[in-house]
Structure 1
């Protein structure tokens, strides 16, 4: 079961995506199209890495009929997995795509209660799965029953095995996880503002926030800003990417595609500019696709040159 990348989705879901001509709040809406897919940040990352021909294993917790559906979906996609079975039903999340505005509205359930026996089984499994791995991806919310410091614990475990961790979470899960000093984090601009507890209304303010995180021991900070591109900050340089023009169809999985591309670039030893171009291209391509479809490696390679790159000079005072 050895894989180069291990993705952890503690609170996965069946994602039901419905497409409407126009969302009418408080009125009858007729669905134009619908689909059900395995969902969750780590699962989405694993789907993209599978497209990139990077060996990956997805893990976390699943349960009940919806959990079986989720695993069957992963089997159909060819994603290797090692989820721990729990008693309660895996949640279902609803994503409503409004074609008229290209806006996606997400309605997420809280998630199943995870028992201590399930956690012990998961942690024992992680000890063995991390042997020989190169990157650990931790993503998404933490379900009831799991302590908020779990991402810090897993990051520490990975560090002891020389595995680099990418953390993509928000709120308390992100704040606690940072204590383990993951190799990289990928907050969006709103999650970064929440983390530093202030509005970041200029490039200088964003870079200052990134610098503070780098000083705490993070090696790479990536701040996604949707159509405004992304910031990629390391100890040596800061880059601002500008995405190429797309017709957005669904934002589901765009950030996860960036994380997958980051993991692939870290394994390949790419420099920051190539990592930034590839990650930005991956997020843009996925945002241009219907529902929960994700980018392919060929699409990313063909689009990297279209990504704008600016070197930001405000890292050093």
Structure 2
């Protein structure tokens, strides 16, 4: 069986991260540090998986000068990639890190329009690549020219080839992607509330909400809640993870690190409890790192026993 993971980033970005000591809205701010990285959920997941020594290929749409910079970044990190080139320029996203209060403000562009020909070219290329894959990770927003139902189409294609799927999106992209019943989804608590149109105030309510999704054929729903930990729900289990204490440095990439840990766990055949432990530890380790740095496998493994896991009776 193949151990290849393919990560899809339909709307990648060149992430420009600036660090400011005390952000003054409406005033003059001077930048203490600046960093530019290849960004987008699927690309971030690929970076973490590379550090986990997982065979991974990043795919999606790429274009223009920003796109070339992203490809150069992936080359430097030794990440295999097979992006479909677009005439439109890849977007640039700005992340403003206030180092005084450790809060990150994100300003994201929409992205350039993808043509119908470019979309068809990508779909055919991915269908061919899935012949060698074990897991398909789909994450983030979709660019103009691509329907929100694209994720459902790609999930159906993967399922037809026996490839497991993980979806990490929000809004309409998540809602439409669920039609195809991906194996795993990882919404944060706000995305789950938005999806179902409810306010979730307890673990039991989160479990009941997630069970509405598992009843539709989704095997695992893993809900992230930042520093509060996470909840994992299957048809038969409901688990609560509480993370170890960290000094938070940056939230950038924490959720993507969780998704990477989930993908790695599926490759290793881990059950829901062990997967939740890995995902929670991965997100916490990444959140303890400054800027855009992400966790390494050995760092996560060292902290697995520090994650508290309890069962939820709902």
CA distance in 2, matches of 1:97, 1:188: 21
Say whether the 8 Å CA contact 1:3–1:57 is kept in structure 2.
Answer: no
- 1:102 paired residue number: 102
- Residue 32 of structure 2: SS of its match in structure 1? strand
- 2:199 paired residue number: 199
CA distance in 2, matches of 1:33, 1:303: 30
Question: Structure 2: which 5+ residue stretches go unaligned?
Answer: none
Do structure 1's residue 136 and structure 2's residue 136 form an aligned pair? yes
Do structure 1's residue 21 and structure 2's residue 21 form an aligned pair? yes
Cα shift readout 1:82-106 (whole Å, capped 9, x = no counterpart)? 0011111110000011111111000
Say whether the 8 Å CA contact 2:170–2:191 is kept in structure 1.
Answer: yes
- Residue 119 of structure 1: SS of its match in structure 2? helix
- 1:33 paired residue number: 33
- Provide the aligned length of Structure 1 versus Structure 2: 313
- 1:12 paired residue number: 12
Query: Cα distance, 1:132 vs. partner?
Result: 2.4
- 2:81 paired residue number: 81
Cα shift readout 1:118-174 (whole Å, capped 9, x = no counterpart)? 011101101111012111000000100011100000000000001010000000000
Q: TM-score, normalised by structure 2?
A: 0.98
Query: Cα distance, 1:188 vs. partner?
Result: 0.2
Written as runs of structure 1 = structure 2, the 5 A alignment for 1:217-236 is 217-236=217-236
- 1:164 paired residue number: 164
- 2:93 paired residue number: 93
Range moving further from structure 2, 43-52 or 126-135: 126-135
- Residue 241 of structure 2: SS of its match in structure 1? strand
- 2:282 paired residue number: 282
Q: TM-score, normalised by structure 1?
A: 0.98
- 2:248 paired residue number: 248
- 1:149 paired residue number: 149
Written as runs of structure 1 = structure 2, the 5 A alignment for 1:205-216 is 205-216=205-216
Which aligned segments of 4 or more residues in structure 1 are displaced greater than 2 angstroms? none
Query: Cα distance, 1:3 vs. partner?
Result: 6.1
- 2:271 paired residue number: 271
CA distance in 2, matches of 1:277, 1:147: 34
Say whether the 8 Å CA contact 2:185–2:221 is kept in structure 1.
Answer: yes
CA distance in 2, matches of 1:99, 1:148: 35
Say whether the 8 Å CA contact 2:3–2:267 is kept in structure 1.
Answer: no
